[in-house]
Structure 1
Amino acid sequence: MSVAMGENTGLIVRGLTTTFDTTRGVAIAAADVDFDVAPGEVVGLVGESGSGKSVTLRSIMRLIREPGHVSGRVEWGGRDLVAMPDEQLRRIRGSEIAMIFQEPMTALNPVLPVGQQIEESLVAHTSLNRRERRARALELMNIVGIPAAERRLGEYPHQFSGGMRQRAMIAIALACSPKLLLADEPTTALDVTIQDQILKLLLDLRDRLAMSVVLVTHDLGVVAATCDRMAVMYAGRIVETGTVADVFAQPRHPYTRGLLGSVPRGRAVRTMLSSIDGTPPSLTALPTGCAFHPRCTFATKECRRERPPLAPVAPGRLAACFHHEQVAAMEAIV
């Protein structure tokens, strides 16, 4: 996903590959992942469970541990995070780049008050004294919309509702006003009202702090409401990228077309939703050629023999499909 950038180049990911040693062999969780995130841009990573979205975020932050292995290049401010010494990377985590984890009940420490967990980042990355840290924590609780914030600072995660815990996670991530926020399904398991509030909050904070966001989700409605650009992942690889409007209007990869076909559309009255036959492949035994070919109605011998590269297919669009023109033509017929 190539983006023209100025002096502030944002995030540049090139050839990011993450593997895990298992008893069944090497599992390729992410392979040759390339994408850019411009300053102030919201980019969505979309795909089924197990497609490599969360692993990609954790690899960017170097949170993968043995038996996992990360290679490639993740450039932030002219520095390669993959090759960076641990001590230097710790100064960037939480200050310049922050992450919202998928499940706040497991990400938050159950035996520490929420206020103390917010202050931990301030202790690590600022010179604020205790009083100033408490004032900042209170300010963050108010920013993310947690009621009775002063009292809540001393409460524990189990005393918060699901939506409030998610807001607390956002407050922790925003403690040092990062320039890049990695959000791993921040609205999972929340009801639609709370989900809408969280997404609006993220967009408001993006505008207020001039912050870039990488949003991992399997919910295409969330992508449509929040993202500028999107990257579709399948079996650890990005198979299509483009602006949200372009991809939704005319997908160029059969997998993207299948995902969009499984979502109800306002213009369709009492029609059957389509589905993608089959299941995602095992990461330790990926098919030869295109990993999607066993589930693809467009597949040919070429697809089974050779893996298509992620290449330009239209202005601002990339797709890894030998038959992207046929896929686009089918969507036009529909």
Structure 2
Amino acid sequence: MKSTEKPVVLDVRHLRTEFGPQDRPLVAVDDVSFQVGQGEILGLVGESGSGKSITLRSILGIIRPRGRVAGEILWNGRDLVPLDEARLRRIRGREIAMIFQEPMSSLNPLLTVGLQIQENLVAHTNLDAKARKARAIELLDLVGIPGARNRLDDFPHEFSGGMRQRVMIAIALASNPKLLLADEPTTALDVTIQDQILRLIQSLSRDLGMAVILVTHDMGVVAETCDRVAVMYGGRLCEVGTTTDVIADARHPYSLGLLRSIPRDVAPRTPLYSIPGAPPALNALPGGCAFSARCPVAGRECPDIRPALEAIGSSRLVACHHLEDAQAHFGPREAAQ
């Protein structure tokens, strides 16, 4: 089933990423398949340790040499998995760019932001020094940094958290990529700055026709930003669909639990809901459903038999043995949040 109506630019098929010895590997991403269309924003959502960031790094091939990637990652029809480092470097930054989670640790504290933007331009364009400087000013202005021309010679510590994240976006956009991988770009930012960054990513995707994969653990962010959502747990996808469908009518128990965790119409001093337990360690994943140990409707077969990611309707994929039980347990109010 084709999961997007827009022209597909990225087609990930049966992605598997593992670490450690080959005879006893730790599987961080297990048989993950999804598509991203041109100009589309796909939300990849789940708790910490679900495999979201490793999925992004696997696409770019930056988990090597410690990690091993299998499956297919078709970028405009070309498989990235077998490419060597030299050929991958011609794609990274130029065609596919990434915003990392922590701008203060991702930016070099010893180099000015102007120089760090121009490093990308040196690597991926034929612009001369004057044109690179003009492009750097243009990028800082594009991402909403006031007085862009006067900020080129500033260092990262001279910017606020939100402004540093904007610098990271400017670096990622330097070579006009067609796909942007955003790894929790609003982590540790206050809600006002978070809204500004998300709106900026939306407008860039719309105006530049750029596809985006947005990693987050926040269903509220997904609801406001993404066209489609893929819910991930234990290195596996458990539900994929349009944002409207998943938010209004989630089916998987994990998706329902994430939505119920969002505070909404809660009386004062009422305990907030949280999914009990914690995600499993990579060396303790069950052979069946990864969520079975925390699932309120798990049956005897769930820890041993892995549910297939099956189509429900025309635009939804869900992997669960007990969909009806999940709906009944959480009830229509939580499912509609």
TM-score between the two structures when normalised by the length of structure 1: 0.95
Deviation for aligned residue 1:5: 5.5
Matching residue of 2:106: 107
Give the stretch that moved more between structures: 55-64 or 287-296: 287-296
Q: Deviations over 1:116-138 (max 9, x none)?
A: 11011111111111000000000
1:152: Cα distance to partner? 1.1
Q: Does 1:2 align with 2:2?
A: yes
Structure 2 residues not aligned, in runs of 5+: none
Identity of aligned residues (%): 59
Aligned equivalent of 1:321: 320
Q: Higher mean Cα deviation, 272-281 or 226-235?
A: 272-281
Matched, 1:69 2:68: yes
CA shift digits 1:132-174 (9 cap, x unpaired): 0000000000011111211210111111111111000000000
Please, which moves more after superposition, 52-61 or 284-293? 284-293
SS at match of 1:295: coil
3-state DSSP class of the match of 1:117?
A: helix
1:21-43: per-residue Cα shift (whole Å, max 9, x none)?
17x95221111111100111100
Question: 1:197 — aligned with what?
Answer: 196
Q: Please tell me whether the aligned partners of residues 313 and 324 of structure 1 are also in contact (alpha carbons under 8 angstroms).
A: no
User: Residue deviations 1:241-294, cap 9 Å, x none?
Assistant: 11111111121111111111111124x545543221111111112123111111
- More displaced, 310-319 or 237-246? 310-319
Counterpart of 1:114, as a letter, is: V
Q: Secondary structure at the match of 1:305?
A: coil
Corresponding residue of 2:278: 279
Query: For the structure 1 residues 315 and 5, does the alpha-carbon distance in structure 2 shift closer, same or farther, using more than 3 Å as the test?
Result: closer
- C-alpha displacement at 1:333, in angstroms? 3.9
Per-residue deviation, 1:82: 0.9
Per-residue deviation, 1:331: 4.9
Whole-angstrom CA distance in 2 between matches of 1:104 and 1:215: 16
CA–CA distance in structure 2, aligned partners of residues 2 and 259 of structure 1: 26
Deviates more, 1:245-254 or 1:210-219: 245-254
TM value normalised by structure 2:
0.94
Asked if structure 2 preserves the Cα contact closer than 8 Å seen for 1:250 and 1:332, the reply is no
SS in 1 for 2:42: strand
CA contact (8 A) 1:312 1:319 kept: yes
Q: Distance in 2 between matches of 1:278 and 1:9?
A: 37
CA RMSD of aligned residues (A): 1.8
Residue 2 of structure 2 aligns to which amino acid in structure 1? S
What are the residue-to-residue correspondences of 1:78-89 with 2, within 5 Å? Answer: 78-89=77-88
2-side partners of 1:154 and 1:236: how far apart?
A: 42
CA distance in 2 between partners of 1:295 and 1:331 (Å): 14
Q: Which residue of 2 aligns with 1:127?
A: 126
In structure 2, C-alpha distance between the alignment counterparts of 1:124 and 1:253, rounded to whole Å? 44
Structure-2 residue corresponding to 1:143: 142
- 1:92-241 equivalences under 5 Å are 92-241=91-240
Partner deviation per Cα, 1:80-127 (whole Å, 9 max, x = no partner): 111123222211111111000000111111111110110111111111
Mapped to 2, the partners of 1:237 and 1:82 lie a distance apart of: 19
Residues 128/79 of structure 1: CA separation in 2 closer, same or farther (3 Å cut): same
The offset of 1:207, in angstroms, is 1.1
The letter of the residue matching 2:255 is T
> Aligned AA for 1:285?
A
Q: Does structure 1 residue 44 correspond to structure 2 residue 43?
A: yes
**Aligned AA (1:3):** S
The one-letter code sitting in structure 1 at the alignment partner of 2:36 is V
Q: Distance in 2 between matches of 1:295 and 1:205?
A: 38
Residue 203 of structure 2 aligns to which amino acid in structure 1?
D
Q: CA 1:228–1:5 in structure 2 vs 1: closer, same or farther (change >3 Å)?
A: closer
Change (3 A) 1:329 1:243: farther
Per-residue CA deviation, residues 173-202 of structure 1 (Å, 9 max, x unaligned), is 000111110000000000111111111111
In the alignment, what sits opposite 2:53? 54
State the Cα distance separating 1:328 from its structure 2 match: 3.2
